[in-house]
Amino acid sequence: MFSGAHVILYTHDAEADRAFLKDVLGFAHVDAGRGWLIFKLPPAEIAVHPTDDTPKHEIYLMCDDIAVTLTALEDRGAEVSRPVTDQGWGLVGAVRLPSGTELPLYQPRHPVAHDLSP
């Protein structure tokens, strides 16, 4: 029924953040016209969490080894904005996009759904 998911990041400096996704993260992309780059993401999954606060959406990039990933991103010029913390269910850190927005990363310690066959 579904062929994929389309994630949108709203930002105050779209051009700089697009360059970061392309040049620092190395995501493959297509140009949808006039510089609107659409990036290929790694396999994805979605979780639903309860909240008593205002509902919101979050995006995390998952990695097999967060320490190695953060070091590689720093070597490419990324700023680590949140050091790795152990949340029990996974290790979490973040890098800062050029616009100032944080992009969280995590190394899961739970079974992941993106490896399942359709």
pLDDT in single tens digits along all 118 residues of the chain: 888 899 999 999 999 999 999 999 999 999 999 989 999 999 999 999 999 999 999 999 999 999 999 999 999 999 999 999 999 999 999 999 999 999 999 999 998 998 787 6
This prediction's pTM: 0.89
Give first-to-last CA distance, the chain, whole Å.
11
User: Vertex 18, ends 32 and 31: CA angle to 5°?
Assistant: 15
- 75 neighbors 87 (Cβ within 8 angstroms): no
CA distances, 92 to each of 28, 34, 51, 62 (Å): 24, 35, 20, 9
- 89 neighbors 108 (Cβ within 8 angstroms): yes
Residue in 64, 45, 28 with CA at minimum distance from that of residue 115? 45
**Four-CA torsion 52, 46, 96, 37, nearest 10 degrees:** -130
Q: What is the residue type of 24?
A: V
CA distance 21 to 41: 10
CATH 3.10.180.10 fits 14-108, yes or no: yes
Residue 46: count of CB within 10 angstroms of its CB: 8
